[in-house]
Structures are given as C-alpha cells and as structure tokens.
C-alpha cells in the first residue's frame, strides 16, 4: 500500500488533500489518463467477480425475502412470494437457532484456542537447533496437506464404535468403549478432535514463521538482564507474534465458524442434531430440505454475525496495541 502511495506524483496527492479548483470533467479526464491501464487490467477480473460474487451476493439478499423452495422455484402454477423479513422472523423465533448458535460459538472457541495453543507450543519447541527439525516439521504439517474429505472419512472410520482404533485402544487399556458417533455429546467431541487435529499445522507454520523473524538479540539482552524463560515469552515472543497472530486468528475463526466439511461429512449434524452448527444447519436446509429462501436468510444472518465479530476483534486488538 505504501508503494502504491509513493507511486503517485506529489501534485496529485495535494490535489486530493486540498480541493482541486479545476472543473470535474478536467479532473476526471486526468484521473482516467493516469489510471487507464489500471481499469483495463481490472476489467476481466471485475466482470467475473460481478458474475460469480457480487451478483450472487445481492441475489442472496433478494432471495432471503422470499419463500422460494423446491415446489415453487420452477413451477408453472406457483410463484415464490415476497415475505419481507418473514424468514428472519422465523429464524429468530425458533429456539433451535439459539442452541445451534451457542454450539457454533463453543465449537469455534474450542477449536481456535486449541489450534493456537498447540500451534504455539509446537512452534516454540521447533524453533531451535534440533537435529531432526525438518523431519518433525514435515510430519507435523501432514494433517493440513491431506484433502479434508479424506481426513473426515478417515476419522469417521477411527470413531467407529466397534472397529475404530480409538475404541480398540481404549478397550485394550481396560476402559469402556465410547459411543462416538451415536451419542450427541461424544459426537461433538469427535468432530472437535478431528478439526483440532486438522487445524494445528496452519497455526504452527504461521507462528513458526513469526518466531523466526524475531531477532535473537532481544532474548540475549533479556537473559543478561536476568529475565526468566516465562518473562521472555510473555514480553518478547507474544508482542512480536501479534502482527502475525491477529490475521491468523481472524482467518482461523472465520474458517472454523464456516467449516462445513468436517461436520457434514462425519455426522451430517446428527445424531439428533447434536453436532449441528450454523453452516451445516443452513446447508441442510438448502440442499437436503430445499428451503431456498429460508436458507438464504440464514446465510445472511451467519455472514452478519461474522462481520460484526471481525469488526470488534480488529478494534479490540488495535485498542490493545495503542495501550
């Protein structure tokens, strides 16, 4: 962004700061002359983004105010009706919405905390002169490298009550078998375990990159001053990791909140809707129950929840940095 700013000659910067007295048409022509290439370069991508992102985005809001479903979408006799905010009313008056929202928040918080904690722990351990460092790193990144579909299926197999290796191991040390995928509580634990396993490498690699950019001189100086390992971690490592961690946590939170793959593939939100989170709920409403208008309204709600979260988070971290 700074580079782009310096590329603009000084007089243009000033013309923006003070009001340019020239008529709009002259300013417009100069702007176009200066940026003609930019617009030319942007047009192809812009057209495709309009067709695949912006138009569907607006259409989603439109769809959210109708009762479109499987029976009236292509029917010669029935037309989807405009229902205003009726879908939103239905969402917010359904007590299940709040249960699912609560579970989604729990799911996101548990996953992101575990991802960051384990990622940070492993990254700190890896960030030293170890003989097998490369091998460790490669093996630890493995869960991220495998296609998510395969990860989900693989864990579903491991969670099988009778034949899954987790229960076999538990039984071999004398513990009772756990009904992983048939009991709502254990099913939720099972999908959490899968997603935690899946998400640690991303955080670990990002944090490792951040750790490597911290100059060892800070630690040397701190050691001379007699700082303990914990003090060094608290006062050097964490502050320096902040610029890397903030976007990583935002991305991780959004990805976890919106993670459809793992839950849909392992439990489909079951048993008894016990592992349903918002995105799986809405995906099933749309593509298993064909309630298009309702699902569109639900998507809009999820999107707004995430947007508000991110605005708050960015403001909170900015505020903390200023203090």
Partner 1 sequence: MAGTFFKRAKGDSSFKRLLINLILIVACAAALYPVLRVITVSLRPSGSVFSMDLSLIPPDATLASYQSILFDPKVGFWTWIGNSLMVSVITAMVALILAAPAAYAFSRFKFAGKQPGLIFLLVTQFFPATMLLLPLYMMLIQLSLINNFWGLILCYMSIALPFSIWILRGYFDTIPNDLEEAAYIDGTTPLGAFFRVILPLSTPALSITALFSFMTAWSEFIIARVVLQKQALFTWPLGTVTLQGAYYTNWGPFSAAAVLISIPVVVLFLLTSKFLVSGLTLGAVKG
Residue ranges in 197-256 that form contacts with partner 1 under rule CB under 8 A: 197, 201-202, 205-206, 209-210, 223, 229, 243-244, 247-248, 250-251, 254
CB of 323 to partner 1, least distance (A): 20
Residue 287 binds to partner 1 (criterion: CB under 8 A): yes
Query: Rounded to 5 degrees, what are φ and ψ at 229?
Result: -60, -40
Within 293-312, which residues bind partner 1 (CB under 8 A)? 295-296, 298-300, 302-303, 306-307, 310
Close Cβ partners of 208 (under 8 Å, ≥ 6 residues apart)? 123, 126, 127, 137
Q: Among the candidate windows 90-98, 167-175, 233-241, 268-276, which touches partner 1 by CB under 8 A?
A: 167-175
- Tokens at 303, concatenated: 């999107």
CB 81 within 8 A of CB 65: no
Rg, the chain, Cα only: 26
Least separation in angstroms between residue 241's CB and partner 1 is 11
Among 170, 227, 260, 317, binds partner 1 (CB under 8 A): 260
Using CB under 8 A, which residues numbered 99 to 128 contact partner 1?
Answer: 122, 125-126, 128
**Sole residue written with tokens 């439109």:** 62
Among 109, 117, 149, 177, binds partner 1 (CB under 8 A): 149
Smaller CB separation from partner 1, 188 or 280: 280
Instruction: Name the H helices within 234-289.
Output: 238-257, 261-266, 278-287
A 10 A CB-CB count for 290 gives 14
State the minimum distance, in angstroms, from the CB of residue 52 to partner 1: 4
Q: Is 175 in the site for partner 1 (CB under 8 A)?
A: no
Q: What is the widest separation between alpha-carbon atoms in the chain?
A: 85
Place of tokens 């006062």: 235
Q: Is the Cβ–Cβ distance between 289 and 202 less than 8 Å?
A: no
138 near partner 1, rule: CB under 8 A: yes
Residues 26-65 interacting with partner 1 (rule: CB under 8 A):
31, 35, 37-39, 41-42, 44-46, 48-49, 51-53, 55-57, 59-60, 63
From 175, 179, 151, select the one nearest 164 (Cα to Cα): 179
Q: Tell me the two tokens of residue 22.
A: 């020239």
CA contacts within 13 A on the Cβ side of 22? 10
Angle at 50 between CA 45 and CA 54, to 5 degrees: 130
Cβ proximity to partner 1, 8 vs 26, nearer residue: 8
**How many amino acids of this chain bind partner 1 (CB under 8 A)?**
101
By CB under 8 A, name the one of 116, 140, 190, 266 that touches partner 1: 140
Q: Is 286 in the site for partner 1 (CB under 8 A)?
A: yes
Q: Which is nearer to partner 1, 46 or 98 (CB)?
A: 46
Select the residue interacting with partner 1 from 10, 17, 95, 132 (CB under 8 A).
132
For the bound state, the minimum distance from the C-beta of residue 161 to partner 1, rounded and expressed in Å, comes to 12
- What is the C-alpha separation between 59 and 310, in angstroms, rounded? 24
Rounded to a whole number of angstroms, the minimum distance from the CB of residue 222 to partner 1 is 12
Place of tokens 């939170």: 253
Least CB distance to partner 1 at residue 250 (A): 8
Q: How far is the CB of 59 from partner 1 (least distance, A)?
A: 4
Bridge partner residues of 66 (DSSP): 82
DSSP for residue 80:
P
Question: Nearer Cβ to partner 1, position 77 or 129?
Answer: 129
């Amino acid at each position: 962004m700074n580079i782009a700013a310096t590329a603009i000659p000084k007089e243009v910067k000033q013309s923006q700061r003070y009001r340019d007295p020239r008529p709009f048409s002259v300013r417009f022509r100069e702007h176009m002359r200066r940026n003609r290439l930019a617009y030319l370069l942007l047009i192809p991508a812009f057209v495709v983004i309009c067709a695949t992102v912006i138009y569907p985005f607006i259409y989603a809001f439109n769809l959210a105010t109708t009762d479109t479903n499987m029976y009236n979408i292509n029917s010669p006799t029935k037309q989807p009706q405009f229902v205003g905010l009726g879908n939103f009313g239905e969402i917010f008056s359904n007590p299940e919405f709040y249960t699912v929202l609560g579970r989604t928040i729990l799911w996101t918080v548990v996953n992101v905390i575990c991802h960051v904690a384990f990622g940070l722990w492993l990254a700190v351990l890896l960030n030293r002169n170890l003989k097998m460092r490369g091998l460790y790193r490669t093996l630890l990144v493995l869960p991220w490298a495998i296609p998510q579909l395969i990860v989900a299926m693989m864990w579903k197999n491991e969670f099988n009550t009778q034949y899954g290796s987790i229960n076999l191991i538990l039984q071999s040390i004398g513990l009772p078998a756990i009904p992983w995928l048939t009991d709502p509580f254990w099913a939720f634990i099972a999908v959490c375990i899968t997603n935690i396993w899946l998400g640690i490498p991303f955080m670990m690699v990002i944090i490792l990159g951040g750790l490597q950019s911290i100059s060892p001189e800070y630690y040397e100086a701190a050691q001379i001053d007699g700082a303990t390992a914990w003090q060094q971690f608290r006062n050097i490592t964490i502050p320096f990791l902040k610029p890397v961690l903030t976007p990583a946590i935002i991305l991780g939170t959004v990805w976890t909140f919106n993670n459809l793959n793992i839950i849909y593939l392992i439990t489909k939100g079951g048993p008894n809707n016990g592992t349903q989170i918002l995105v799986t709920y809405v995906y099933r409403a749309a593509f298993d129950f064909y309630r298009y208008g309702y699902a569109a309204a639900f998507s809009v709600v999820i999107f707004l929840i995430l947007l508000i979260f991110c605005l708050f988070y960015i403001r909170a971290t900015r505020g903390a940095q200023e203090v």
